Amino acid sequence: MSYLILVRHGQSIWNLENRFTGWVDVDLNENGKNQAKKAGKLIREKQINIDLYYSSFQLRAKNTLQIIQEELKDHKNVKSAWQLNERHYGSLTGLNKDEMKQKLGEDKVHQFRRSWDLRPDPLDKSSSYHPININTYKSIPADKIPDTESLKDTYERVIKFYTEEIEVNIKNKNILISAHGNSIRALCKYLFNLDNKEISKLEIPTGNPLLMKFNAENKVLNSEYLDSERAKDLLVY
């Protein structure tokens, strides 16, 4: 028996401003730091020894994990993987979601945010928001950096990394992943065998650890949000 803990980063500066963030490397705000600290305390109370830590390349996920490790008094090395990054929102990046609802209509914005395979228009490579112009991503091969992504695109890169790098360790190690709303939605789709309609309804709260218990066959036995007051209906067992 082993455990996997998925944590969406604490609230970021752009979460608070209700902007499409994607691959723009914004940091946590004060509320997000407090959420991460509480996440660490809740994990500590479970008395689970974490063997492996993973994070995306992005500052808000890395700093969330750093705060959690401080609460756990555990400073094992963290493996950072760009494959765990948030979905790239293309030309929507940086725009306010409410303003876009007024401009495009609520249904269209909902389609961009929740549909399985619809991509927004590509982000111009000259934009300062494009990953090729952000120092965080200089080590990523240029052909791996997207201009836009659907949830399906995000799922494919996240699950490829998970099955090749993480899943093999689930049998005998406890693992914590600090990532993002859409990369965690992708993992939940895979782990809970959700269909394309179910995944569209999935909401991932910031800074709330989702604890999953696995059996010897790498199947999820049960799962729970550790902060029950901020739990969402995640179709969990």
The alpha carbon torsion through 52, 165, 21, 155 (nearest 10 deg) reads -130
Please state the separation of Cα 140 from the chain's center in Å: 18
Q: Which ranges of the chain would DSSP assign to H, the alpha helix?
A: 13-16, 30-45, 59-72, 97-104, 106-114, 151-161, 181-191, 196-200
The type of residue at 176 is L
9 is catalytic: yes
Q: Which residues pair with 179 in a beta bridge?
A: 8
9, 88, 130, 180: which one is catalytic? 9
Q: Which of 61, 54, 58 is nearest to 131 (CA)?
A: 58
The type of residue at 199 is I
Q: Is the separation of the CB atoms in 90 and 149 below 8 Å? A: yes
Q: What b/e readout covers 10-34, taking b as 16+ CB neighbours within 10 angstroms?
A: bbbbbbeeebbbbbbbbbbbeebbe
45, 75, 86, 198: which one is catalytic? 86
In the DSSP assignment, the letter for residue 15 is: H
User: Which residues have a catalytic role annotated?
Assistant: 9, 86
